[in-house]
Structure 1
Amino acid sequence: MTKTHFFYALTLPDETKGFLKQTSERIKSEFAFKKWLHQDDYHITLAFLGDAPEEMRQKSLEFVNDALTEASRIDLQLDNIGIFGNVETPRILWAGMKPSEQLNNLRKKIYVACEEACFTLDKKPFKPHITLARKFTENAFQLHRMQELADISNRAHRFQGAAVTLYQTHLGQAPSYQPIATFSLKKRV
């Protein structure tokens, strides 16, 4: 039986998913990654729970709901494209955001709520990103050429984060992430 994982993420608007899909298409022909994510799977991870037992998951839903009661929508802007892993054979290709205190605060609320539900979470610093592809399969990856083709910094795509979703993974499927619960953020007046 395949293990499933759960995570909380900022849900992206369809327009942003379309923009990122278009960006992926611009660079796909020149850069061979083993897996390009389905556009419905684009998100910004806020807390990765892993293999979450039902009772803890339910508790996290309650605590996250409480934490987001007064949380407002956040304004974000895509800023760049980057990689995680070896510069010659990266394991992750991602789109990043301009720094946002609002996003950092939202992430902190989710993170604390999940810790209160007894989850042990990753302690690495938060680096908000949207994964586009995984596992580069050729030699001599060229980040500068990738950034040129993607041209994210010159296209100034802005969007609003309006919801947080608990997702469940279904590896091998496309899309791979199933929404379990969604929390809408308040409109700012």
Structure 2
Amino acid sequence: MANTHFFFALTLPDELKKELYGRIEQLKTAFPFKKWLHPADYHITMAFLGHASESMRNEAAARVKQTLEKEAAFPLILDEIGTFGRNDYPRILWAGVEFEQRLFDVQKKVYQACLEAGFSLDPKPFKPHITLARKYNGEEAFSLQQASSLTGLESKRFLASAITLYQTHIGASPSYEPICSVQLQ
């Protein structure tokens, strides 16, 4: 269990996961990454907890549920792909969403609830994204412009309606197991 970690994330609708996965299929042959995520693992991380005891997880889950009990679901728009790390050999390939203040407000509530439960969280600013692949290892330099044109990712609207606590299973595919979810109104 020491290698297991936990995180809260915005749950993506299954239809969106399927559509996103279908759009990136062409990228797999054109851009070799060491690991392409299973579509069931697509999510937007709200708070990374790391290793956590059951009592701390339960406390965080109860606080997140309480803080979001009157929170309404809201629309988001998938709109771009991007990378983290070097432009020519990126560490992460991701899909992003258009700016929506409600997403940032909900993330702050989840983050604060986890702090109140006793977690030490990463203080980096929230950058909402859906990780698609990790560790580019192609012989040719990566081209974000070419990758963007291959995905044909145009504005895709979806409803943000649940926050889920996930547990990782390193080496498994899919890697993330939902533990509990909070449905937004």
Report TM bin, short chain: over 0.9
In the alignment, which residue of structure 2 is the partner of 1:28?
Answer: 28
Q: Does 1:177 align with 2:160?
A: no
Q: Does 1:44 align with 2:44?
A: yes
Tell me how far 1:2 sits from its aligned partner: 5.7
Tell me how far 1:6 sits from its aligned partner: 0.1
CA distance in 2, matches of 1:62, 1:24: 36
CA distance in 2, matches of 1:119, 1:111: 9
Report 1:123-162 matches (<5 A).
Answer: 123-138=123-138, 139-152=140-153, 155-162=154-161
Q: Does the Cα contact within 8 Å between 2:94 and 2:132 map onto a contact in 1?
A: yes
Tell me how far 1:26 sits from its aligned partner: 2.4
Q: Does the Cα contact within 8 Å between 2:5 and 2:51 map onto a contact in 1?
A: yes
Note the aligned Cα RMSD (angstroms). 1.0
Tell me how far 1:19 sits from its aligned partner: 1.4
CA distance in 1, matches of 2:124, 2:86: 18
Q: Does the Cα contact within 8 Å between 2:2 and 2:51 map onto a contact in 1?
A: no
| SS of equivalent to 1:171 | coil
CA distance in 2, matches of 1:19, 1:123: 32
CA distance in 1, matches of 2:176, 2:47: 14
In the alignment, which residue of structure 2 is the partner of 1:5?
Answer: 5
Structure 2 letter corresponding to 1:169: T
Report 1:39-118 matches (<5 A).
Answer: 39-118=39-118
Structure 2 letter corresponding to 1:106: V
Q: Does the Cα contact within 8 Å between 2:162 and 2:183 map onto a contact in 1?
A: yes
Structure 2 letter corresponding to 1:113: A
CA distance in 1, matches of 2:30, 2:81: 15
| SS of equivalent to 2:172 | coil
| SS of equivalent to 1:25 | helix
How far does the alpha carbon of each residue in 1:32-84 deviate from its partner, in whole angstroms, 9 at most, with x for none? 00110000000000000000112211110110111111011010001100000
Structure 2 letter corresponding to 1:160: L
TM-score by length of 1: 0.95
CA distance in 1, matches of 2:74, 2:24: 24
Residue ranges of structure 2 left out of the alignment (5+ in a row): none
CA distance in 1, matches of 2:99, 2:155: 14
CA distance in 1, matches of 2:7, 2:148: 28
Structure 1 letter corresponding to 2:4: T
Structure 2 letter corresponding to 1:175: P
Residue ranges of structure 1 left out of the alignment (5+ in a row): none
How far does the alpha carbon of each residue in 1:96-148 deviate from its partner, in whole angstroms, 9 at most, with x for none? 00001010011011000000001111111110000000010114111111111
CA distance in 2, matches of 1:24, 1:34: 15
Q: Which runs of 4+ in 1 moved over 2 A?
A: none
